[in-house]
Amino acid sequence: MACHLQQQSGRGLFRRSSPKKRKSIKQNTIQRFLVLEKRADLGGTWDLFNYPGVRSDSDALTFGYGFRPWLSHKMLAKGVDIKSYIADTAREFKVTEHIRYQHEMQQLSWSSATQQWTAMIKNHSNGEVLTLTANFVVGATGYYDYDTGYKPHFEGEEQFKGNIVHPQHWKNVAYDDKKVVVIGSGATAMTLLPALVDESSEQCARHVTMLQRSPTYVASVPGDDYALDWLSGKFSPLSKRQAYSLLRTRNVMFQQGVYQLATHAPKVMKAFLNHGVKKNLKGSGVDVGHFAPSYNPWDERLCAVPDSDLFLALQGKRAEVVTDKISHFTETGIALVSGKHIEADIIVTATGLKLQMLGGAALYIDGQQVDVGARMTYKAVLLEGVPNIALMFGYTNASWTLKIDLACQYVVRLLDYMDKHNYKTVCSQAQTEQEQVQVRPDTVLGALSAGYVSRAKDELPKQGDRYPWYVTHNYVSDRIMLKYRKIKDDWLHFSR
């Protein structure tokens, strides 16, 4: 959600500036928050992306909310189903009545005198610019630019006679019986290819080439999981919720195990992934080298495909993968450095995302602009030296929502603690009398070498070399840290 700020507790209502007396928290807690959403509908990513086959690359049991079970057996869920799940959850918990759509936060300013945030908001439905104030702000904007995706300039692209489209801006693209080239090797490209050649859909491309500069690790996972039905069936003592919790834990531990294996025994993990690719492409004539990167697993995100759909598509006549570098675009396609030419009617630039923080809004403290990219994060939730603000970051090595669940629970605990002790502000400070925290080169997203992370290293908050400034990307340790460790410590400073 490009400019989505939310407050998930009774403390800190975003309100229109007025002299009207505010009700006490105890009297009206449920109405003391507001969700600002830049888009015209909820769903964020799942409202934005409309390209064929759009789906999650994380299993639904861990991608869904911990407090509201995902009961579908489809594991890598379709985008439209995820959006429906989000909307149903928002209605069930009466969040929808607190959402203000088409409200973009353009500037956020903290005043030490009033101990409040003031947000400059643009209402895109009528062009009005208004001011809202809040005691506490939660930045749930995600980490990428919803207006513009990353698209490098290719030599000669102006002379290409066909259509060039970025997946982020896919809308009513007519690809039936067309030759399509998808530039990219990430999750988007691998989702698009099988969807574009699906002969059972309304449109089907004549031929699709996935053109990648370098290989990516790909693992096939089951598209369906009926274990929830089995564990909560007629003869089972478990309820649906109990079965969901059990299977969610199973999947979390599996994700963490795979990541630990990849980081501590990369050769073993690489051999396992390569074996899977060879098995899926056996007898197809497709070179397995297209899926054998030179880097170690989890130096970049692994791509998961349901029921080997990518590999099955590549075994047909309508799809192929090419690993090469682009020389230039021509009138009819793409010329490669190797001398090969790929004909195309449509070129899809699945070249990645542009990252930004707080939906692109400027952040100020007492009139001085804050460089978010120069600050560390406390427990990957609070921003160093900035009062009463939380930024939501998920996992890069597991389902994004797993970390968001923990972070939100921590924020609620923090706000409850502040209410109980009558504190008005909280601010995290890295340097204490006992220690001097060193800033690591890694961002809050970790040591991923993916292009979208490295391009935005100056935009993303940093992490420190020790607890609680070091980001572990480990669900077990994060669960202990965010749910069970005491709120008050040497790094948090409270005031009344």
Amino acid making up residue 418: M
pLDDT tier, 28 (very low <50, low <70, confident <90, very high otherwise):
very low
* Rg, Å, the chain Cα set: 24
Residue 433 has pLDDT above 70, yes or no: no
Determine the average pLDDT of the residues in 328-338.
97
pLDDT tier, 398 (very low <50, low <70, confident <90, very high otherwise):
confident
Stronger pLDDT, 219 or 4, i.e. the higher one = 219
Q: What CA–CA distance (Å, rounded) separates 332 from 480?
A: 57
Please report the pLDDT score of residue 454 as a whole number: 67
Please report the pLDDT score of residue 456 as a whole number: 66
| E-state strands within 148-270 | 163-165, 179-183, 207-212, 218-221
Please report the pLDDT score of residue 447 as a whole number: 56
Residue 266 has pLDDT above 80, yes or no: yes
Residue 437 has pLDDT above 90, yes or no: no
Q: What CA–CA distance (Å, rounded) separates 258 from 475?
A: 13
- The answer to whether the beta carbons of residues 412 and 456 sit under 8 Å apart is no
Residues 353-386 have pLDDT tens digits of 888 889 999 999 999 999 998 999 999 999 999 9
Stronger pLDDT, 156 or 29, i.e. the higher one = 156
- The answer to whether the beta carbons of residues 305 and 221 sit under 8 Å apart is yes
Q: What CA–CA distance (Å, rounded) separates 494 from 422?
A: 10
Residue 178 has pLDDT above 50, yes or no: yes
Please report the pLDDT score of residue 108 as a whole number: 96
Please report the pLDDT score of residue 450 as a whole number: 63
Determine the average pLDDT of the residues in 167-194.
95
Determine the average pLDDT of the residues in 163-192.
95
pLDDT tier, 20 (very low <50, low <70, confident <90, very high otherwise):
very low
- Mean pLDDT check: name the lowest of 11-20, 292-301, 355-364, 370-379: 11-20
- The answer to whether the beta carbons of residues 395 and 143 sit under 8 Å apart is no
Q: What CA–CA distance (Å, rounded) separates 351 from 102?
A: 28
Q: What is the Cβ-side half-sphere exposure of residue 410, based on CA atoms within 13 angstroms?
A: 28
Q: Cβ neighbours of residue 256 under 8 Å, at least 6 residues apart? A: 398, 474, 475, 476
Determine the average pLDDT of the residues in 435-446.
78
Please report the pLDDT score of residue 397 as a whole number: 85
Residue 1 has pLDDT above 80, yes or no: no
pLDDT tier, 117 (very low <50, low <70, confident <90, very high otherwise):
very high
Residues 412-430 have pLDDT tens digits of 999 999 999 999 999 999 8
* Secondary structure class of 62 (helix, strand, coil): helix
Which value, to the nearest 10 degrees, does the dihedral of the CA atoms of residues 189, 191, 193, 196 take?
A: -130
For residue 385 the two structure tokens come to 């030296």
Beta bridge partners of 103: 123
| Sheet-wide strand order for 5-6 | 99-101, 35-37, 5-6, 137-139, 389-391, 382-383, 377-378
Q: Buried (b) or exposed (e) across 57-85, using 16+ Cβ within 10 A?
A: bbbbbbbbebeebbbbebbbbebebbbeb
pLDDT tier, 451 (very low <50, low <70, confident <90, very high otherwise):
low
Q: What percent of the chain has pLDDT over 70?
A: 91
Which parts of 19-108 fold into alpha helices (H)? 25-28, 45-48, 60-63, 79-92
Q: What CA–CA distance (Å, rounded) separates 222 from 241?
A: 22
Stronger pLDDT, 240 or 455, i.e. the higher one = 240
Mean of all residue pLDDT scores within the chain = 88
Tell me whether the omega of the peptide bond preceding residue 52 falls within 30 degrees of 0, making it cis.
no
Q: What CA–CA distance (Å, rounded) separates 456 from 346?
A: 29
Residue 9 has pLDDT above 60, yes or no: no
pLDDT tier, 17 (very low <50, low <70, confident <90, very high otherwise):
very low
Residue 16 has pLDDT above 70, yes or no: no
